[in-house]
Amino acid sequence: HEVYYYDSVSSTNDVAKELALQGARDGSLVVAEEQTGGKGRLGREWYSPKYKDIKFSLLLYPPVNPSEASQVTMVTAVAMALAVRKKTGVPAGIKWPNDLLVEGRKICGILTEMSAELDKINYLVVGAGLNVNQELADFPEEVRDIATSLKVEKGVELARVSLLQAILEEYEQWYMLWLEQGFSVILAKWKELSVSLHCPVRIHTLNKSWEGWAEDVDADGALLLRLPDGGLQRLIAGDVSLRV
C-alpha cells in the first residue's frame, strides 16, 4: 500500500480525495502531523494539535452499493476500538454512529466521505482522528469536559507509530472479513463493542430532538429508537447523548 505522509495539510480526507482523482490505488494511506482545516461530522471542525495524536485517511474502492457505505465506517469503528483495546488496554467503546468513547468521553472520531453514482462508489475516503498524547489542557475549552486521550487514561505517553501500525493491521483484517463474509459478522462485533445500545438516549438530529430507548442498529447502520409512545423511529444520522 502507498503511504502519503505530510507535516501539515488542510485535511487528510481532502488530500485522499485529491489522490483519488489522480488515480491513487485502493488502500492508499494519508497521514499528517497537523491539519489546518480538520473536519468533523455534521459540518463541524476537528481540532487536534500537531504531533500529539493520530490522524489518517484511507482511500478505498469498496465493491458495494453507495447505500452500503456506512458499513465501511462501522468496520472502521470496530477496528479502531479493538486495536486501542489490544494495544493499550483502554476500554474504548462505540457510540452510534461512529465515535469511540472511554467512560463517556470521546477519544476518536471518524468521518467518511464518498463520491458515488446511483449504483457505484467511485471512491470512498474514511478518516479517523484518535486522541493519543494530548493533555486535557490541549483540548479546546468547549470539549475539555467531554474529550479524553490515551495519555489521560493511562498516565503515560504512547508511541504513535506502533499504535498506527496496530490500527492498520486490525483494519485490514476486518475490512477483508467484511469483503469476504459480508456485514453480519461486522455488525455483531459492532454491537458487542457498542456503549450506546440498550440504554436510554437523547438524539439530536438537524432539526429535531428525540428521546427514547436505543433498541437496535439495522443492517444499514441506522439506529432504531423505541419512543415513549411505543413507536419505533429509524434514524440515519444524529448526535447521541447518553446522559439522559
Interacting residues toward ligand BTN by CB under 6 A:
11-13, 35, 38-41, 44, 46, 55, 57, 99, 109-111, 127-129
User: In angstroms, what is the minimal distance from the CB of 73 to ligand BTN?
Assistant: 10
How many CA within 13 A on the CB side of residue 155? 0
Would you say 110 or 225 has its CB closer to ligand BTN? 110
Handedness of CA 15, 18, 19, 20 (dihedral sign): positive
Helices (H) and strands (E) in the chain, counts: 5, 12
Would you say 143 or 188 has its CB closer to ligand BTN? 143
What is the number of the residue whose Cβ is closest to ligand BTN?
Answer: 109
- SS3 state of residue 163: helix
Contacts of 67 (CB under 8 A, 6+ apart): 220
Phi then psi dihedrals of residue 111, to 5 deg:
-130, 115
Angle at 174 between CA 170 and CA 175, to 5 degrees: 110
Would you say 6 or 209 has its CB closer to ligand BTN? 6
User: In angstroms, what is the minimal distance from the CB of 48 to ligand BTN?
Assistant: 7
User: In angstroms, what is the minimal distance from the CB of 1 to ligand BTN?
Assistant: 17
Would you say 99 or 170 has its CB closer to ligand BTN? 99
For residue 228, what is its C-alpha cell? Answer: 415513549
Would you say 177 or 237 has its CB closer to ligand BTN? 237
Handedness of CA 127, 128, 133, 137 (dihedral sign): positive
Query: What does 24-84 look like in DSSP terms, one character per residue?
Result: PPTTEEEEEEEESS-B-GGG-B----TTTSEEEEEEE--SS-GGGHHHHHHHHHHHHHHHH
Q: How far is CA 26 from the centre of its chain?
A: 19
User: In angstroms, what is the minimal distance from the CB of 147 to ligand BTN?
Assistant: 10
User: In angstroms, what is the minimal distance from the CB of 129 to ligand BTN?
Assistant: 3
Would you say 9 or 186 has its CB closer to ligand BTN? 9
Q: Residues 110, 72: contact at Cβ < 8 Å?
A: no
User: In angstroms, what is the minimal distance from the CB of 160 to ligand BTN?
Assistant: 13
User: In angstroms, what is the minimal distance from the CB of 117 to ligand BTN?
Assistant: 24
Would you say 73 or 88 has its CB closer to ligand BTN? 73
